[in-house]
Copies of this chain bind each other. A is one copy, B any other.
Amino acid sequence: MSGIGVHKAAHKQYAATPPMGWNSWDCYGASVTEEEVLGNARYMAEHLKPFGWEYVVVDIQWYEPGALSSSYRPFVPLEMDGYSRLVPAVNRFPSSAGGKGFKPLADVIHGLGLQFGIHIMRGIPRQAVHANTPIQGTERRAREIAANNICPWNSDMYGVNPDAEGAQAYYDSLFRLYAEWEVDFVKVDDIAASRLYHIHHREIEMIRTAIDRCGRPMVLSLSPGAAPLEYGGLLAGNANMWRMTDDFWDVWPLLKDMFGRCEQWYPFVGNGSWPDCDMLPLGHIGLRSVDGGASNRQTRFTPEEQQTMMTLWNLFRSPLMFGGELRDNDAWTLSLLTNEEVLAVHRDGRGARPLYRREDRTVWTSLAPDGGVYVALFNLGDAPAEVSAELAELGLAPGTREARDLWARRSLGRVEDGLRFTLPPHGSKLVKLAPEG
């Protein structure tokens, strides 16, 4: 194993708590427009910002003028500047006209008190390579820095050859542009778990370096998953968040499966490193996305499943990226995002870990800064089941703790020996045991 590269630490302060925001993918696939982005940003500023939500992220192919859904049009021409860098399609992002890129949109979002994020694909446009266009800051041209490797599910880019002179210069030129646009968050795709080539760790490192050099503290998010566990250290040493799973959608088996992934990754959570359970497919989704085996719909998760998802994501401290059209939120959906007692678990919990997994019952726990103990109980089975957490298992003395149901925001009284709930199928309970005394 030669060359795992640099494990950096400075970037960890860019995401001191797990990022929270909105991303256009679950609604609009590759086709979101400026107006839709702004609409969701304004909703966030009004309804969610006080609860900690801040990132507004434009997902894949903002440079593809003909994008209509989540289905990519293979091999089509893309909008590109004179330095082999993709730029926003003006028909979709009118404010970018005149070569202004995403700067005007970012300005508006910053003006709302929010942060602006974009998605990019690892690599250099194939059209640049075949046309052999220039790269800013180097005499090398596109053909010379391209690698003969591809993304298996999108035909926009070739990889960048990390051994080529000019390769780092290319990535530096990209992030210099994004810094000019005042981007705050970059989600890089086809990099953490290529289906063809495992992880592209050297391109991760080039991107880390490019961000460090660009002078703007952008949060770095890596996709897709499942990122390989054996690179956990490298991921923490270069990124703020990385996907533990392939794309997550609103079907129960994927949600149930996430528990096993969290059991593997929980030791990596914390200090600016956030293994990522992926987006929250809640509310109104699929407006133009046709992924996940469905189209325009309300989330297919039942209310119980929605609460279970939110409970796991919050306790595990996954990033929270809402996938629905925010402006169509109903009260229930909004309530899942604005429960301050639950969000405190996400923001302040420490040392989250599984307490046990026994068949379809599982319990997770973390510590509150005030000496309290968070306990999340889950019934992953298809029938109602009693799920319990004994105080002794938690290392707590009997009869010493008051319990509170955080979703219901009500007291459960003093706990004698343990917590014990009959939970509905796919159901959960999130409890705080108060500090002793």
Interface residues of chain A, those whose CB is within 8 Å of chain B, are 1-10, 74-76, 126-127, 129-130, 132, 143, 146, 148-150, 152-155, 196, 229-234, 236-237, 259-260, 263-264, 266-268, 353-360, 393, 395
Contact = CB atoms under 8 A, between A and B. Distances in A.
Q: Does more than half of chain A's interface fall in helix, strand or loop, or is it mixed?
A: mixed
A234 B355 CA distance: 10
Nearest to A146: B75
Nearest to A262: B233
Nearest to A273: B267
Contacts of A150: 148-150
Contacts of A267: 232-233, 236, 267-268
Contacts of A3: 357-359
Nearest to A270: B267
A4 B263 contact: yes
Number of copies: 4
Given A196-B196, A353-B7, A264 B233 contact: yes
A148 B152 contact: yes
Given A3-B359, A267-B268, A152 B149 contact: yes
Contacts of A360: 2
A335 to B, nearest CB: 31
24 contacts: A1-B259, A1-B260, A2-B357, A2-B359, A2-B360, A3-B357, A3-B358, A5-B357, A6-B356, A7-B353, A7-B355, A9-B395, A74-B148, A75-B132, A75-B143, A75-B148, A76-B143, A127-B130, A148-B150, A148-B152, A229-B232, A230-B264, A233-B266, A233-B354
A152 B152 CA distance: 12
Contacts of A7: 353-356
A143 to B, nearest CB: 5
Contacts of A9: 353, 395
Contacts of A153: 148
A236 B351 CA distance: 13
